[in-house]
Structure 1
Amino acid sequence: MPIDPFQRLRHALAQPAPPSSDYDLNPDFAVAEGRVLRDAAVLLAFQSGPRGAELLLTKRASHLRHHPGQIACPGGKMDPGDATPEAAALREAAEEIALPAANVEILGRLTPHETVTGFQVVPVLARVRTPFTPRAQPGEVAEIFAVPFDHIANLARYRVERRRWLGQWRYFYTVPLGPYYIWGATARILHNLAQRMDQP
């Protein structure tokens, strides 16, 4: 009998995990001394869909200052009024995809992820309790879509690619799905989750 996806997610949270950053595959990449990381949080919101469990992702608007046009989990920087990363992730999800906070069961946190753009991102793992109608935040979210659980949970789906950035080759994880090119910090966070789910 297949293991329940949400049971696998809870299993992943109980596993040890190493630090996570955009530098994992780029140990020789120059890191600015004295950098100050900005706190951020994202919501990995899993829901039960017609194809089984699925993860809600967004495509960011192309004009945004940070990560324009990229695939991302709902989320963003923490505001002064956010008491915890969970509060920030829930607020951002409500703003970006109209997911009511009362409709979310928080499962736990994954390893914080440091980005090359200077953010310390806390991934918050969550379950959507009941079906809802996603609505994209005008001006910030170009599209909302769902990724099958089996796609992001399968380590064989991930690959490492590279591109030149600031004059250096930068390596990064990708986990493409049809027209959606999931890469960078989002793919690294999902790869971390898949590794933890794969542990005995």
Structure 2
Amino acid sequence: MRQALAAPAGPTSDFDLNPEVAPPAGQLRPAGVLAAFHEDDGRLVLTKRAATMRHHPGQIALPGGKVDPGDADVIAAALREAREEIALPTEQVEVIGTLPAHRTVTGFAITPVLAVIRGRFDPIPEPGEVAEVFDLPFDHIADPACYRVEGRYWRGSWRSYHAAPYGPYYLWGATARILWSLANRFAA
């Protein structure tokens, strides 16, 4: 993982596949997401957002969220959010590093924080935010061939996005784009 992080790469965005779409005006809000892999077999922890969430209900996501005033930085935000959303104890997390921020159509600059979960971890989803916590195998996450470009009609035009479906889980959008970037680093 450290070797993959050492590979040079620029920031990513929801606009990579849609250059005709203008990024949102104003400053992007900083956020951190935790790409936490189990130390024993490399499974990646993901969540399915609660259907009652105002933004992105039912979507697959990495634990994380916006930087709050009490957070020292995006890493602290990602660790706090993982603790709140899935009860991941911070002391079990070894942070390896970060990827460049991913700019979203919703006005965030999301910094992916790569980490390893040390020891046994039994997630407890926060019911107001998380419908399900699950793992995807490292082989799926780390293989660029598992990702494809799809499209849908959104806000008056066709938009392209990355997707990496796995069984009942439809991994797409910013989460898939972030992980596709990581998969390409692993493959390099």
Q: So what's the TM-score if we normalise by structure 1?
A: 0.91
Deviation, 1:18, is 2.1
Aligned to 2:160: 171
Determine the structure 1 residue equivalent to 2:82: 93
Amino acid at match of 1:192: S
Confirm or deny that 1:46 pairs with 2:37: yes
Q: Provide the residue aligned with 1:4 in structure 2.
A: none
Q: Distance in 1 between matches of 2:126 and 2:167?
A: 23
- Between the aligned partners of 2:23 and 2:135, the Cα distance in structure 1 is 34
Q: What percentage of residue pairs aligned between the two structures are identical?
A: 60
Per-residue deviation, 1:17: 0.7
String of CA shifts for 1:16-71, please: whole Å, max 9, x gaps: 01220000000011334x3221111000000035xx21000000011212211100
Structure 1 residue runs of 4 or more that deviate by more than 3 Å after TM superposition: none
Separation of aligned partners in 2, 1:12 and 1:180: 25
Unpaired stretches in structure 1, ≥5 consecutive residues = 1-8
Q: Aligned to 1:182, what secondary structure does the other structure show?
A: coil
Tell me which of 10, 20, 40 is aligned to 2:12: 20
Distance 2:140 2:23 in 1: 32
Distance 2:54 2:28 in 1: 17
Unaligned runs of 5+ in 2: none
Length-normalised TM-score, structure 2:
0.97
Alpha-carbon offset, residue 103 of structure 1? 0.6
Q: What is the aligned partner in structure 2 of residue 65 from structure 1?
A: 54
Letter in 2 for 1:142: A
Return the alpha-carbon distance in structure 1 between the equivalents of residues 62 and 151 of structure 2.
Answer: 22
Residue equivalent to 1:6? none
1:108 matched to 2:97? The reply is yes
Residue 132 of structure 1, CA deviation: 1.5
